[in-house]
Every structure is written in structure tokens, then in C-alpha cells.
């Protein structure tokens, strides 16, 4: 069982006042806070082990390499990849998806081919495909969303055709808070000879993920959304693809032999990792994985479901408040986008901040989705395992106070 009250003590940043109120941090979909164990790992690394990896034979270099490659093994176990050769360190989900679009895309996509995404994708899972489609004269096709806020699987069956070469879908939406059936989509893609790319930025931090069970060809996620530092992320790729793909970046670390006119690459996974990597970030991501693994991803998932079951009906009961995505708590993750009638979401978020409650407002890097929903922006509260029912109550109270403020001018 998750004991959020106890766990919060391990997150020093949560223990502060904002605008004279105790902080309620509900912007976890943007980035999560870091526990002492992760912060300590970063400090220890720079205090004791800092050296470049893969190059030196001295003790510090060996320690750094051992810890960095150890973190890769932790990632492998965490997402159930077959081999560490399939685990590439990147800067984050955005870089991971760009690598797939550039490397796999340039190699396999031809004129007239189709790339299938959905209306609920983050810009990082749209723009790399738009650019690829432009380079190759290919077509970008969007799967619809149902009235109830789910990916329209009937439409997916219509749109994934013999022309489809890539299907790329978010495992969990960063706005609608739905979990998409990526295993089923992978099956549809594979039946048509296409590959399945999964944007796992909002899934890996919150639920168990098994890339083999999903049969994903590529799976991307970010360290900073799962208690790790910024600037480190992962691209999982099936070895059969990574082996035939060309690296996207070239330089030190990734080469086997350099001649005057051409060069050869190191074996996987290093052939993709040019230059000095984010060593401290990788090691600290390993520490974050240790931390989450002790809690248990199934426990985290169950606890967040309990929080959503608690807060969603309270939000839905507020007059003039619209929740986006599924209305049933059991179908909604801890990402809850909402609007208050007559108020701009930025005003709502600013007013909530005055009450110490941190939420995000805007288009959440999902402009096509907001156009589809016909709203310019939304507010969004997003929960993690260190949030409590008291946090949920503070959100609800702050929303009532916001309504009061904008109606009568007092908080």
C-alpha cells in the first residue's frame, strides 16, 4: 500500500509554502518532483565518481561506466526489454520520437506511405511525423476520438491499412487522461506490416509497462516525469530494427573505426549515443527506477485510481466545471483537464496558485486535440503517488474560492 503522507517526507520540495499556503503540487504530468534518494544519487555521483564513461581505464571512469551501464540494465528490467542493446538513452521522449522518425522513417518510408497517429497526440508525437511526411511525400492520418473521450478503435481499424507503415500513439493521453489500447493497436499495425511506436511519457511513471507484452516496436519515455532528473530519457527499440537503422547523431563514443572518408559504428546500443552522454542523469534515472520499483508500479497505479475516484466526482459536482476525457473515474488516469465556465484557464491557474495549488493551464502541447475539442485551452490537475486526498480537497476548495473571487471579487 502507498502511504502518501509518509512518502511526501522524502520529497523536500513539497514541504514549502507558496503564497503563504502549503504547496499542493498538481502539475505532475509536466514534471514530477524528486525524492531524496535521487537527489542524493546525483550529489554522490558528482562528489565521488564523476568521470567520462566508456573511455578511461582509471578507477573513477570505471565506476562511472559501471553505474551508467547498470542504470541501463535497470531500465531494461523495468520495461521488460529482452536486452540492454534495445535500450537507448536519449534526452527524453521528444528526442526518442525524433530519432525514430528520422532514422527509421528515413530508411523505411516512401512516397505515398501513410503514418497513422491520433488527434490526442502531444506535439512531440505529431511534428516529427509531419516533417517525415513532408520529406518523403507521405501522408499523416489521424484516428478520431469518440464522444466519450476514448480513442475510436473502429476508426483505427479503418485508418490502419496496407498503406500504413508506422502507427504512433500515446499510451496515456496528457490531456484526456485515457489509457489507449496499444497492444491491440500493435496487433492491427503488425497485421498490415506496419511498426508500432508508443509515446509512453505519461504511462511509464504510473503503471507497469512491458514492451514485449505490448509488442511495441519502439517505446519512448522521459526520466523527469518519473522522479528522475530532466535531460534523460529512453528509446526502446526492437533489436531487429535498431540493427538496420542508421544513427541520427555522429561523433565521439558511437564509432568503431574512423577513416578519412568514412567510418563504422559501435555495436548497439552505443552506436546511437554520440558524444558524452548525460551520465549523472542516467545514473539518477536508475535510482528513480529503484525508488519506484520498491513502491511497485501496480501499487502506484491502484493508489492513483483511488485518488481519481475520490476527486473526480467532487470536480464534476462543481457548477460550470467541465472535465475533459472520460467521465467515469475507473476509466480516467490522474491527469484531469477541466475548464470553468466563463473563465480563462490561465486566470483559473493563477487564482489556484494564489491558494498554493499548482496546476497547468494552456494547450498542453496538444493543439490539434484542443482544436478537435473546440476549446482554446484548459486547466489541468495531474496527480502522483505523493499526492493525498487532502491535496484533492485543497484543489476543490481552491476552485470554489476561484469561482467566488471572479463572481464577487474576494478570495
Which positions touch ligand C6P (CB under 6 A)? 29-30, 92-94, 122, 124-125, 170, 174, 199, 201-202, 222, 360, 364-365
Q: Report the distance separating Cα 283 and Cα 69, nearest Å.
A: 8
Dihedral angle at the C-alpha atoms of 52, 55, 56, 61, nearest 10 degrees? Answer: 40
| C-alpha dihedral sign at 201, 213, 242, 244 | negative
> Which residue in 37, 295, 365, 375 is the catalytic one?
365
Q: Give residues with Cβ within 8 angstroms of 24, minimum separation 6.
A: 356, 357, 358, 387, 391, 394, 395, 398
Q: Pick between residue 8 and residue 364 the one whose CB is nearest to ligand C6P.
A: 364
CB of 176 to ligand C6P, least distance (A): 11
Q: Pick between residue 64 and residue 126 the one whose CB is nearest to ligand C6P.
A: 126
Copy the grid coordinates of residue 112: 505515398
DSSP state of 409: S
**Peptide bond before 269: cis, by omega within 30 degrees of 0?**
yes
* 227 given a catalytic annotation: no
Q: Pick between residue 42 and residue 365 the one whose CB is nearest to ligand C6P.
A: 365
228: region left, alpha or beta (phi > 0 left; psi from -120 to 50 alpha): beta
**SS3 labels along 83-94:** CHHHEEEECCHH
Cα 151 from chain centroid (whole Å) = 18
Q: Report the distance separating Cα 314 and Cα 224, nearest Å.
A: 29
DSSP letters spanning 242-286: HHHSPPSS-STTSEEEE-SS-EEEPSTTGGG--SS--HHHHHHHH
| C-alpha dihedral sign at 203, 209, 215, 219 | positive
Burial profile 35-45: b = 16 or more Cβ within 10 angstroms, e = fewer:
beebbebbebb
Q: Give residues with Cβ within 8 angstroms of 67, minimum separation 6.
A: 45, 49, 283, 286
Q: Pick between residue 92 and residue 237 the one whose CB is nearest to ligand C6P.
A: 92
DSSP state of 180: P
Q: Pick between residue 64 and residue 226 the one whose CB is nearest to ligand C6P.
A: 226
Q: Report the distance separating Cα 3 and Cα 387, nearest Å.
A: 10
Q: Pick between residue 95 and residue 402 the one whose CB is nearest to ligand C6P.
A: 95
**Three-state secondary structure call for residue 19:** coil
Contact 326, 169 (CB under 8 A): no
- Looking at the annotation, which residues are catalytic? 365
Amino acid at each position: 500500500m502507498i502511504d502518501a503522507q509518509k512518502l511526501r517526507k522524502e520529497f523536500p520540495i513539497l514541504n514549502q509554502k507558496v503564497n503563504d499556503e502549503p504547496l499542493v503540487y498538481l502539475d505532475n504530468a509536466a514534471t514530477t518532483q524528486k525524492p531524496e534518494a535521487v537527489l542524493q544519487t546525483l550529489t554522490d555521483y558528482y562528489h565521488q565518481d564523476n568521470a567520462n564513461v566508456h573511455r578511461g581505464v582509471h578507477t573513477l571512469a570505471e565506476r562511472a561506466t559501471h553505474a551508467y551501464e547498470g542504470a541501463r540494465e535497470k531500465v531494461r528490467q523495468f520495461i521488460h526489454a529482452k536486452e540492454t542493446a534495445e535500450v537507448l538513452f536519449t534526452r527524453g521522449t521528444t528526442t526518442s520520437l525524433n530519432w525514430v522518425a528520422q532514422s527509421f522513417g528515413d530508411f523505411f518510408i516512401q512516397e505515398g506511405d501513410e503514418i497513422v497517429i491520433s488527434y490526442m497526440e502531444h506535439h512531440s508525437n505529431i511534428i516529427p511525423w509531419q516533417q517525415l511526411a513532408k520529406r518523403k511525400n507521405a501522408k499523416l492520418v489521424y484516428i478520431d476520438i469518440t464522444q466519450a473521450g476514448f480513442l475510436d478503435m473502429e476508426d483505427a481499424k479503418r485508418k490502419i491499412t496496407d498503406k500504413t507503415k508506422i502507427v504512433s500513439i500515446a499510451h496515456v493521453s496528457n490531456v484526456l487522461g485515457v489509457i489507449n489500447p496499444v497492444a491491440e493497436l500493435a496487433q492491427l499495425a503488425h497485421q498490415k506490416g506496419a511498426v508500432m511506436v508508443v509515446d509512453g511519457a505519461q504511462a511509464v511513471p504510473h503503471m507497469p509497462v512491458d514492451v514485449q507484452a505490448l509488442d511495441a516496436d519502439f517505446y519512448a519515455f522521459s526520466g523527469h516525469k518519473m522522479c528522475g532528473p530532466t535531460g534523460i530519457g529512453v528509446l526502446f527499440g526492437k533489436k531487429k530494427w535498431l540493427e538496420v537503422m542508421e544513427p541520427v547523431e555522429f561523433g565521439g563514443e558511437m564509432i568503431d573505426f574512423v577513416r578519412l572518408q568514412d567510418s563504422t559504428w559501435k555495436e548497439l546500443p552505443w552506436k546511437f549515443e554520440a558524444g558524452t552522454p548525460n551520465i549523472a542523469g542516467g545514473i539518477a534515472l536508475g535510482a528513480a527506477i529503484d525508488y519506484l520499483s520498491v513502491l511497485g508500479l501496480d501499487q502506484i497505479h491502484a493508489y492513483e485510481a483511488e485518488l481519481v475516484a475520490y476527486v473526480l466526482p467532487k470536480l464534476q459536482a462543481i457548477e460550470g466545471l467541465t472535465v475533459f476525457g472520460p467521465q467515469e473515474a475507473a476509466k480516467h488516469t490522474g491527469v484531469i483537464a477541466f475548464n470553468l465556465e466563463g473563465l480563462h484557464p490561465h486566470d483559473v491557474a493563477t487564482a489556484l496558485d494564489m491558494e498554493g495549488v499548482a496546476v497547468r493551464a494552456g494547450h498542453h502541447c496538444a493543439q490539434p486535440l484542443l482544436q478537435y475539442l473546440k476549446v482554446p485551452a484548459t486547466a489541468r490537475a495531474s496527480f502522483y503517488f505523493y499526492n493525498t486526498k487532502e491535496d484533492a480537497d485543497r484543489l476543490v476548495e481552491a476552485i470554489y474560492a476561484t469561482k467566488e473571487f471572479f463572481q464577487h471579487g474576494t478570495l
